[in-house]
Amino acid sequence: MIALRVRQDAPPVEPIVAVRRSAPTHGGPMRRLTMEKVMAQTLAADEVLRGPHVLEYPYRRSLGPVLGRFFGGLQEHRLLGIRMRSGKVLVPPQEYDPQTGEALEEFVDVGPGGEIVSWSWVSKPRPKQPLDRPFAFALIRLDGADTTLLHAVDAGEESKLSVGARVTPRWAEEPGGGILDIACFELEG
């Protein structure tokens, strides 16, 4: 829900004309054009204009050969990176070298362990976050990689975390072909 408060000294608003077009059907031209008048009103100082707001992406994306192989590896409890011409290893892998634009094809195994490069503690997790108890989001440089992977770390308490701390993945009980095949990372030892 979005709430909008209008200033009391705001000038009156003129009616707005909105154009609504129907979508083309079966590749044909637009069939009809309808006009609808939308009347805007000036609100009193204590009134709030409310309207629904939904943020979602109701589509599925195909992964392509590089990310498809990365996520396929996760289902098998393998972490894959891709080698750039410079010799550096990117995790997660990308189709093209970010410096030269060349296509990348040489996959390499990385990890499974790594070290925390940076982290942020989440003391009150929200409903759709990866863990239902306090945890950290961390940038993790997996062994053999030159870039970092962002993921959750289940450390139990904030005082156990530090830059350089070693972590290892905790795999999901049932793989789903996505990044959550790694349920989270946990501290080694």
0.85 surpassed by pTM: no
The first and second tokens of residue 188, run together, are: 């080694």
- Give the SS3 label for residue 15: coil
Radius of gyration of the chain (CA): 25
The DSSP secondary structure of 97-124, one letter per residue, reads -TTT--B---EEEE-S-EEEEEEEEESS
| 161-184 burial: b if 16+ Cβ within 10 Å, else e | beeebebbbeebeebeeeeebbbb
Q: In this predicted model, what pLDDT tens digit does every residue of 142-183 receive, in sequence order?
A: 999 999 999 999 999 999 999 999 999 999 999 998 999 999
pLDDT of 146 reads: 97
Beta bridge partners of 107: 82
- Give the SS3 label for residue 2: strand
With cut-offs at 50, 70 and 90, classify the pLDDT of residue 42: low
pLDDT of 46 reads: 72
Burial (Cβ within 10 Å: 0-12, 13-18, ≥19) of residue 10: exposed
With cut-offs at 50, 70 and 90, classify the pLDDT of residue 41: low
| Helix spans in 63-179 (H) | 64-75
pLDDT of 53 reads: 77
pLDDT of 55 reads: 74
Mean of the per-residue pLDDT values for the chain?
Answer: 82
- Where are the chain's structural domains? 2-51, 64-187
DSSP classification of residue 165: -
Q: State the average pLDDT over residues 77-102.
A: 96
